[in-house]
Amino acid sequence: MRTSQPQTIYLKDYEVPPFLVDHTDLRFELFEDGARVHSTLSMRRNPESAAGQPLELDGDSLELESVALDGQALSDRDYEATPASLRIDSVPDQFSLSVVTWIRPQDNTRLEGLYKSSGMFCTQCEAEGFRCITYYPDRPDVMARFRTRIEADQSRYPVLLSNGNDVERGELDDGRHYAVWEDPFPKPSYLFALVAGDLVEKRDQFTTVSGREIDLRMYVEPRNAEKCDHALVSLKKAMRWDEEVYGREYDLDIFMIVAVDDFNMGAMENKGLNIFNSSCVLASPDTATDMAFQRIESIVAHEYFHNWSGNRVTCRDWFQLSLKEGFTVFRDTQFSSDMGSPTVKRIEDASLLRTAQFAEDGGPMAHPVRPDSYMEISNFYTLTVYEKGCEVVRMIHTLLGPEQFRAGSDLYFERHDGQAVTTDDFVRAMEDASGRDLSQFRLWYEQAGTPRLTVEDEYDDAQGTYRLTIHQSVPATPGQPEKQPQHIPFAVGLIGEQGKALPLRLSADEDENDAPTQRVLELTGDSHTFTFHGLQARPVPSLLQGFSAPVRVDYPWTRDQLMFLMSHDPDGFNRWDASQRLASDVIESLMHQPKDVRTDRRLLTAYRHLLADRSLDQALVARMLQLPTVAALIEQSETADVQAIHEARRRVLTELAVELRDDLVACYRRNQESGEYRLEPEDIARRALKNTALAWLLHVNDEEGRMLAVKQFEGATNMTDRASALRALVNSDFEGDRQQALDRFYGQFKEDPQVVEQWFAIQASSPNAGSLAHVEALLEHEAFDWKNPNKIRSVVGAFAGQNLSHFHAKDGSGYRFLAKHILALDETNPQIAARLVSPLTRWRKFKNVYSEGMKSALETLRDKPDLSKDVYEVVHKSLKD
């Protein structure tokens, strides 16, 4: 057992840093057996801090070689050093501190700090990785100007990069060389980056709004030279968009992107030198799917947008993580919806929120958007901080309107440029620019849990009035038993008998022509009643249009009403939502029913209409045809019975596919690829629709479907079609074709790690092929590598997160499998290990037959001696009563 419990850090204990760093001078000597880091810090006491405090710097696994104060070497009596801290009791008010440390990047499997990936040196310092490089006040509110000199072997590491501008380079003895980088903008240590490797450079240019020429450079391994164009095009679009929409211009002369294979996160916004997980930046039509292209465009934009929302204005402490992440995710979702289909983008974001973030909000790790305590900050890079944080900013945008929101963001950047601030500062800028009072709104940052809105209605035929009554409740969450009502923008519409959106008159005097067809009602109390006037008949309510707030809505729509909304609601999001509610209702009603009970014919009719509808946005049609996922159905149920949900969903899918077979074939043929691959929204929609039809046909082992899939697989001109055909075959019972396709796919792409990851994920997530035995065999495959987070995610992560019928096997084998691998990973990469615990954390949500096994897997983890802080926190919180 662990001897000491990891410490909990509280927001209420925040104190300003006792020392500030004006300048950080670094010199890295990189070797094959380690690296020597020389750091010289120009420091002074913080005038705002209490006098006389000792100097204490953070470290992690460091070997100290020497310490000097103002040029004088200190003896070991003058300081106290451990691998995790350096303390000097007596220092003057202003001084220069020089420290030399020895680190071992080649043995760093945690991938925090400086490490080696595919023969290159690279860094990941957010949140607390810089302390693995040298002793430092490693907290975001200490901002310094950095100068970095890198020395390494010239033939192995011809490219030497760090933040800022390239100021000097030259040769040294013994075949070594050096480069010096200077970053003129003060920054916290988490934004430091270094890269050294044998990389090819792709160059581009961008002219800013004020006419400055920016050098854009992308560095990748030679084999990836042809996969950079999309990221560079996306970067230029993002740079232009940020100027136009937010008035933000880029500030350095160079902007660099580097792709690395081994990376814990998706990408990192280091000042001027963004480092990306290869899977989030490299793409070509042969190797990346449409979804990957879209994801890359959005991640490149996200990291670029951080240059202002994150880097120029940063977080005071890690409790404020959503200050930069919530706002930047909001900015990237706005950008993506401007680049593609706004409705589909909204559906994707809301689906993620409703399945995964609502689950987090309802589980043992529930925390506010601005958490008030943590043990390990890496565990708080969550959907709540990112996605719910984005929704919170979106609600401010809705409440203020676009002009006042822009005025608020201008004021925020102007007021806080070069500072480390809080979410409260962000909200205050929005208030000051708009004159609106957001004091109750701030509860969105402070209260955890998903608010639930229960809606009742009443139609008065004689008066022609329709009344909506909305009750709000916020559930208790760990540490927060009592909640206050929140300020919720609730967008509604009413649809009349003819399928038209009705004018919403909130008083009898209001002129029909002045009344809008959508209103944003502001909910602030436990309950509100709104009366709409001048109606001829009972309308169908369209509630929470555009998903205007991250809440659950309960209203007893009938199946006929849902079908009506599916074909008439002017709000595209709610059309989709109606399709999901209808399908969920049908699936849930079939659970535990005898086999001869048939699916409601109305669902069939609705889908038949959809398959034939060419007037609707085809991207929306493709989305509406997707049945709710097993994960979404689990989230909607009180106590989940995974196998029953899986079976009922399968039955509905089977029946639909059999009955709609001819419609599916017609839809497939109508949308077949013709001509060159293009990444335009209508082409993406066409492929999505066609591939959905194909998946359904293969689900019922249709012979014509099989021929179409094999033909598509063999003749595909792009990865979207190839991978979709492969997935369809893997999910069918055509075992011969499946194996042949898998072998051919691997043979063709085995040199490409990103494609091999897709190949792994297609199998590990398949309810057909992805049995536990098969997944265990994948772990023995020559291409699998426990040191590479992407491989772990594509096999273990895909199995536990997406292949729910196998993962939740009633004998508990899936849980034991996961626990076994988390235990092993805890030794090498605790961040990744902790993230894999997530599927077990909500054990209380499941029926006994599952929850007992999940709990016992968590107990196995709990009992490991010397569990990492990362895994400790998640496991202990999950088991807590």
Angle between helices 813-828 and 830-841 (to 10 degrees): 160
Minimum separation from the CB atom of position 421 to Zn ion (A): 16
Minimum separation from the CB atom of position 328 to Zn ion (A): 5
Restricted to residues 291-330, the positions that interact with Zn ion (CB under 5 A) are 325
Active-site option among 221, 269, 303, 635? 303
Residues, the chain: 881
**Rounded Cα–Cα distance for residues 484 and 191 (Å):** 37
With b for 16 or more beta-carbon neighbours within 10 A and e for fewer, the 228-257 pattern comes to bebbbebbbbbbebbeeebebebbbebbbb
Helix (H) or strand (E) holding 541: strand 540-543
Q: Which among 184, 22, 16, 46 is positioned nearest to 96, based on CA atoms? A: 22
Tell me how far CA of residue 575 lies from CA of 300, 398, 610, 616, in angstroms: 31, 21, 11, 11
Nearer to Zn ion (CB atom), residue 100 or residue 323: 323
Cα-flanking dihedrals φ and ψ of residue 36, to 5°? -105, 130
Q: Position of tokens 């693995």?
A: 132
Strands in 308-421 per DSSP E: 314-315, 373-374, 420-421
How many residues of this chain interact with Zn ion, rule: CB under 5 A?
1
**Rounded Cα–Cα distance for residues 822 and 875 (Å):** 11
Restricted to residues 64-103, the positions that interact with Zn ion (CB under 5 A) are none
Nearer to Zn ion (CB atom), residue 325 or residue 873: 325
Q: Write out the two tokens for 59.
A: 């470290």
Minimum separation from the CB atom of position 141 to Zn ion (A): 18
Nearer to Zn ion (CB atom), residue 325 or residue 683: 325
N-terminal to C-terminal alpha carbon distance within the chain: 20
Is residue 482 annotated as a catalytic residue, yes or no?
A: no
**Rounded Cα–Cα distance for residues 427 and 685 (Å):** 38
Measure CA 328 to chain center.
11
Minimum separation from the CB atom of position 316 to Zn ion (A): 17
Query: 761: burial class by Cβ within 10 Å (0-12, 13-18, 19+)?
Result: buried
**Rounded Cα–Cα distance for residues 43 and 392 (Å):** 38
Helix, strand counts (H, E) of the chain:
29, 31
Nearer to Zn ion (CB atom), residue 325 or residue 635: 325
Asked if 709 and 725 count as a contact pair (C-beta separation under 8 A), the reply is yes
Q: Write out the two tokens for 364.
A: 């043992």
3-state secondary structure 779-793: HCCCCCCCCCHHHHH
Tell me how far CA of residue 810 lies from CA of 588, 766, 804, 847, 879, in angstroms: 20, 18, 11, 10, 20
Minimum separation from the CB atom of position 302 to Zn ion (A): 6
Minimum separation from the CB atom of position 367 to Zn ion (A): 18
Minimum separation from the CB atom of position 33 to Zn ion (A): 34
Those residues whose C-beta lies under 8 Å from the C-beta of residue 258, and which sit 6 or more positions away, are: 122, 161, 195, 199, 218, 219, 220, 273, 274, 275, 276
Q: Which among 245, 175, 136, 163 is positioned nearest to 31, based on CA atoms? A: 175
Nearer to Zn ion (CB atom), residue 267 or residue 822: 267
Minimum separation from the CB atom of position 325 to Zn ion (A): 5
Tell me how far CA of residue 757 lies from CA of 416, 788, 837, in angstroms: 42, 11, 21
Nearer to Zn ion (CB atom), residue 98 or residue 357: 357
SS3 for 171? Answer: strand
390 C-beta neighbours (distance < 10 Å), count? 26
With b for 16 or more beta-carbon neighbours within 10 A and e for fewer, the 311-333 pattern comes to bbbbbbbbbbbbbbbbbbbbbbb
**Rounded Cα–Cα distance for residues 700 and 657 (Å):** 7
**Rounded Cα–Cα distance for residues 272 and 267 (Å):** 13
Minimum separation from the CB atom of position 21 to Zn ion (A): 24
Restricted to residues 844-873, the positions that interact with Zn ion (CB under 5 A) are none
Query: 649: burial class by Cβ within 10 Å (0-12, 13-18, 19+)?
Result: buried
Minimum separation from the CB atom of position 329 to Zn ion (A): 7
Minimum separation from the CB atom of position 841 to Zn ion (A): 23
**Rounded Cα–Cα distance for residues 629 and 47 (Å):** 56
Minimum separation from the CB atom of position 26 to Zn ion (A): 24
Residues catalogued as catalytic: 303
Interface residues with Zn ion (CB under 5 A)? Answer: 325
